[in-house]
Amino acid sequence: MFEKGSFVYYGTAGVCKVSDICSSPFDGNDDKMYYVLAPNDFDNGTVIYAPADNDKVLLRALITAEEAENLLSSVKTLAPLEITNEKHRREEYRNALKDGAPETIARVIKTIHLRKAAMLNTKKRLSDTDTEFDKIARRALLGELSASLGIASAEAEERLNTALEG
């Protein structure tokens, strides 16, 4: 069980602050406990009510600063995703992001980074699927790196890009 005030990683919303823990805000007869989550990168007052016993959407503790540093130092050696059928690329990316593990998200970013580099050589344009999932994966990973390391998102992005190029 997470504590009020802690930061967690929640599904596609990414890094969220647990602003409260309460009984169901929807049904007075429901005795389930809910986390009231405030996504870190939204300023518009977005609130997510997530059941504390939810097993359908990923809800986990953030990686530690040490784990974040280890991830950044290992990005160069991470294997890109193996996508054998181009028709399944979107599904492969979606499944990898659904996994929610920082290493898996970094693999998505690395895969797209390598595709982008290959496209530059052939003067072709990166697919909309790659562009879309690069944005989603970067938002998720950079949010977590930023929160775990206590740095600005721009600095986390700079460090990730350096690690990809390194």
Q: Which of the 8 DSSP states describes residue 32? A: -
Confidence (pTM): 0.90
The model's pLDDT over 83-95, given as tens digits with 9 standing for 90+, comes to 988 899 999 999 9
What is the rounded distance in angstroms from the CA atom of residue 33 to the CA atom of residue 164? 41
Q: What are phi and psi of 124, to 5 degrees?
A: -100, 160
Q: How far apart are CA 135 and CA 115, in angstroms?
A: 14
pLDDT in tens, 99-151: 899 999 999 999 999 999 988 888 889 999 999 999 999 999 999 999 999 99
Q: Among 3.90.950.10, 2.30.30.700, 1.10.150.120, 1.20.58.1290, name the CATH number for the domain at 63-165.
A: 1.20.58.1290
Sequence spans of domains, the chain: 7-60, 63-165
